[in-house]
Amino acid sequence: MGVKKFYDVYEKKKMSTKFHSELSQDISLLLNDTDDYNVIIQIGEGKNTREFRAHSIILKIRSPYFKSALSTKWVNQKNNMIEFKKPNIRPTVFEIILKYIYTGEVNLTKRSGADILGLLIASDELLLEKLFRHVQNHLIKIQTNWIKQNYVYILHTVFKLPSCKKLQDHCIESICLDPEPFITSEDFPSLDKDILYELFKRDDLQIEETVAWDYLIKWSIEQTPGLGSKNNDRTKWNDNNYKALKETLSKFIPLIRFAEIPSDDFFDKVRPYKAVLPHHIYEELVLFYYKDTLPKSITLPPRVGKVKLESKLINPKQANIIACWIERKNENNVTLDKKYKFDLLYHSKQNGLNINTFRNKCNNQGACLVEDIQNMKISRINNGYNNYAIYDQNNYGFSFGNTFYLNSDKRIYCSNQGYYDGNLNNVLNPYQNSNFIPEDTEAFKITTT
Q: What is the DSSP string of 67-81?
A: HHHTSTTT-EEETTE
Confidence of residue 391 (pLDDT cuts 50, 70, 90): very low
* Burial class of residue 70 in the structure, from the number of CB atoms within 10 Å of its CB (0-12 exposed, 13-18 middle, 19+ buried): buried
**pLDDT of res. 59:** 93
Average pLDDT over residues 98-125: 94
pLDDT digits 0-9 by tens, 232-271? 788 889 999 999 999 999 999 999 999 889 999 999 999 9
Average pLDDT over residues 279-303: 84
| Separation between Cα atoms, residue 24 and residue 235, nearest integer Å | 70
Indicate the helix (H) or strand (E) that contains 99: helix 91-103
Q: Tell me the residue ranges of DSSP E strands in 275-329.
A: 307-309
- Given a contact cutoff of 8 angstroms between Cβ atoms, the answer to whether 124 and 116 are in contact is no
pLDDT digits 0-9 by tens, 43-90? 999 999 999 999 999 999 999 999 999 987 777 888 888 999 999 999
| Separation between Cα atoms, residue 263 and residue 244, nearest integer Å | 27
The architecture of the domain spanning 171-291 is Alpha Horseshoe (1.25)
| Separation between Cα atoms, residue 186 and residue 183, nearest integer Å | 8
Confidence of residue 127 (pLDDT cuts 50, 70, 90): very high
What residues does each domain of the chain span? Answer: 28-142, 171-291, 308-448
109: amino acid identity, one letter = T
Q: Which residues make Cβ contacts (< 8 Å) with residue 286, sequence separation at least 6?
A: none
Sign, Cα dihedral of 395, 399, 401, 405: negative
Helix (H, G, I), strand (E, B) or coil at 172: helix
Cα 234-240-243 angle, rounded to 5 deg: 85
Single pTM value for the model: 0.71
Confidence of residue 367 (pLDDT cuts 50, 70, 90): low
Sign, Cα dihedral of 282, 287, 288, 290: positive
| Separation between Cα atoms, residue 159 and residue 194, nearest integer Å | 9
Confidence of residue 305 (pLDDT cuts 50, 70, 90): low
- 410: DSSP letter: S
Is the confidence at residue 325, as pLDDT, over 90? no
- 263: DSSP letter: H
**pLDDT of res. 421:** 41
Average pLDDT, the chain: 79
**pLDDT of res. 36:** 81
131: amino acid identity, one letter = L
Helices (H) and strands (E) counted in the chain, each on its own, are: 20, 13
Is the confidence at residue 185, as pLDDT, over 80? yes
* Closest to 55 (Cα-Cα) out of 39, 70, 32, 77: 39
Confidence of residue 332 (pLDDT cuts 50, 70, 90): low
Least confident of 6-15, 123-132, 179-188, 308-317: 6-15
**pLDDT of res. 327:** 74
User: b or e along 142-152 (b: 16 or more beta carbons within 10 Å of the residue's beta carbon)?
Assistant: ebbebbbebbb
**pLDDT of res. 26:** 66
**Residue 205 φ/ψ, nearest 5 degrees:** -75, 110
**pLDDT of res. 164:** 96
Average pLDDT over residues 360-389: 52
Confidence of residue 422 (pLDDT cuts 50, 70, 90): very low
The architecture of the domain spanning 28-142 is 2-Layer Sandwich (3.30)
Q: Which residues make Cβ contacts (< 8 Å) with residue 307, sequence separation at least 6?
A: 316, 319, 320, 323, 336, 339, 340, 341, 342
More confident residue, 409 or 220: 220
Average pLDDT over residues 134-156: 95
| Separation between Cα atoms, residue 301 and residue 155, nearest integer Å | 27
| Separation between Cα atoms, residue 448 and residue 270, nearest integer Å | 37
Helix, strand, coil tally for the chain in percent (to 5): 50, 15, 35
The reply to whether 28-142 and 171-291 are identical in fold is no
